[in-house]
Amino acid sequence: MTQSDCFTPIARDAPGAPPGERLLDAHRAVRYDGLLQLIDEVQRRRSIEDVARVVAARWKHCASVNNWRLLCVYADHCALVVAEGNQAVVTELQLGQLAPFDALMWNKRIPRHWSGDALAAERVGLPPGLADAQGLALSILPVQQGPATIGIVSVLSFEKTFDNLDRKFNALVAGAMAARILAILTEQSLTAELMRAQKQILEQRQAGIMGRLVNGVAHEINTPLGVQIASCDALAAMVQDPATAAEYAQDIQDTIALIDQQARRAARIVKRLKQISAAAMASPKVATPLQEELTLIADAYPDLDIQIHCPAQLTLTLDRAALGTVLGELLDNARAHGGAAHGAQPVLLSAEDQGSHISIRVTDHGSGFSPEQAEHFHDPFFTSKQNQGHIGIGGYIAQNVARDALGAALELHSAPGSSSVALQFAKP
């Protein structure tokens, strides 16, 4: 609803008009200016409560309005504002939950005006604020936005009956209020829909990750178990006849060694899977000098050329065991994919205070992450080197422990000839 739809400003200086009319025109012009300021203020508000509060405080100063009631409808979602004097209460509800009076007015959507005896006769069916015995006039107006009705406003005056100009003033304020409230309701609805969609996508992704995790675990464990079962069957056949067992002595020893090897492989897989649970490895958080801690972690990888860059005074309160697990996974990844094996290329292990957060970063000089690798880095059992014995669970472990035990975010950065993974710790 535009201002021109409701009201054409009155000339402030009408030569030849009687003094009383000129005074009335000036008074109306002041009221109109007040309404324009109120409407401008309404458009700035970011919540329905703020819209209701500013109108309740200021409407009566530029129009003969005391108590009022505004129902705004967006699809099946309604916002009901009930104001008495300076106080306004906002209720959000569904269309089917409306009180009888509001439901009736919404269904009819017809302008109504009562005063005097007609208003007294109507008071029995009015809500408390509009049934006030001091009321001299009541107007009920549908609020339009183009061809659509978006609300119903009911305004009660204690001072005088509403003339046509008053009704236009009231329609102007109600239209601005309802339009702003409708915009807020629309934004809330779209935000809620977006959050539902994001939640659904997250749930679907988590379900996919869990499915891959279960399938990956089954595959990785099943392989060594299958080898052991077959080896045990072969071993049983070789020792079934004591008379010929001696000639299979070397085969028996080789089979026993294979069973041992595969059993240890299965045990390693189970041990790594246990690291996924941050709770299973949680340790107390302690103030940790990062330069010293990074040096201790680097010393555990004698086959890697690791350079430490960290200010000597930089300290962070964290779970040291969890930090060791995350950086260990990232260093293993640098060894496997970053050209760092046997000191071929140095790995940079650095920490830096970046103002709003502290960053701990592992940088290698490999070929970097491809878009596919970056997208699936945190997925369980995704690896480009499965044929070399890697099971692809390091990124998944690092992300889970970083998030759950360290409260840190894991960020990947890739450029030609280098890649890095950073732990970002937000400062308290």
Do the beta carbons of residue 369 and residue 414 sit within 8 Å?
yes
What would you measure as the largest C-alpha separation in the chain, in angstroms?
Answer: 137
Name, in order, each residue with C-beta under 8 angstroms of 108's C-beta and a sequence gap of 6 or more. Answer: none
Residue 216, pLDDT score = 64
Residue 282, pLDDT score = 61
d(CA 349, CA 329): 13
Residue 329, pLDDT score = 85
| Element at 81 (helix H, strand E) | strand 77-84
The encoded tokens of residue 388 equal 């070399």
Q: Quick one: residue 336, left, alpha or beta (phi over 0 = left, psi -120 to 50 = alpha)?
A: alpha
Other Cβ atoms closer than 10 A to 425 = 22
Mean pLDDT rounded to a whole number for the chain: 81
Q: Of 103, 109, 54, which Cα lies nearest the Cα of 83? A: 54
pLDDT tens across 174-184, in order? 999 999 998 88
Residue 67, pLDDT score = 94
Report how far apart, in Å, the C-alpha atoms of 23 and of each of 6, 9, 17, 18 are.
22, 15, 10, 9
Angle CA 373–423–426, to nearest 5: 135
d(CA 42, CA 183): 12
Q: Calculate the CA 69 to chain-centre distance.
A: 34
The mean pLDDT value for 38-57 works out to 90
DSSP label at 63?
S
The mean pLDDT value for 26-37 works out to 75
**Homologous superfamily of domain range 280-426:** Histidine kinase-like ATPase, C-terminal domain (3.30.565.10)
The encoded tokens of residue 266 equal 């299965």
Q: Of 3, 2, 1, 7, which Cα lies nearest the Cα of 166? A: 7
Residue 11's pLDDT band (cuts 50, 70, 90): very low
For residue 418, list its beta bridge partners.
415
d(CA 139, CA 91): 22
- Residue 393 in this model has a pLDDT that exceeds 70: yes
pLDDT tens across 286-312, in order? 999 999 999 999 998 888 889 999 999
| Backbone torsions φ then ψ of 87, nearest 5 degrees | -100, 140
Residue 181, pLDDT score = 92
% residues pLDDT > 90 (the chain):
33
Residue 109's pLDDT band (cuts 50, 70, 90): very high
Kindly indicate whether the domain formed by 3-191 is annotated with CATH number 3.40.50.720.
no
Q: Of 294, 287, 359, which Cα lies nearest the Cα of 317? A: 287
Residue with the bigger pLDDT between 418 and 408: it is: 408
pLDDT tens across 314-354, in order? 999 999 988 998 898 888 878 876 554 444 678 999 999 98
Do the beta carbons of residue 38 and residue 146 sit within 8 Å?
no
Any idea which of 202-211, 222-231, 403-412 has the lowest mean pLDDT? 202-211
d(CA 283, CA 6): 69
Dihedral sign, Cα of residue 167, residue 169, residue 174, residue 175 = positive
pTM of the model: 0.49
Q: Quick one: residue 306, left, alpha or beta (phi over 0 = left, psi -120 to 50 = alpha)?
A: beta
CA dihedral 89, 92, 94, 100 (to 10 degrees): 0
Residue 253, pLDDT score = 83
Name, in order, each residue with C-beta under 8 angstroms of 379's C-beta and a sequence gap of 6 or more. Answer: 209, 212, 392, 395, 396
| Backbone torsions φ then ψ of 111, nearest 5 degrees | -60, 135
Residue 379, pLDDT score = 66
Q: Of 155, 129, 144, 168, which Cα lies nearest the Cα of 72? A: 144
Q: Which amino acid is at 154?
A: S
| Backbone torsions φ then ψ of 420, nearest 5 degrees | -145, 150
The mean pLDDT value for 98-102 works out to 94
The mean pLDDT value for 62-85 works out to 90
Residue with the bigger pLDDT between 145 and 209: it is: 145
The mean pLDDT value for 90-102 works out to 93
Do the beta carbons of residue 115 and residue 123 sit within 8 Å?
no
- Residue 426 in this model has a pLDDT that exceeds 80: yes
Residue 20, pLDDT score = 52
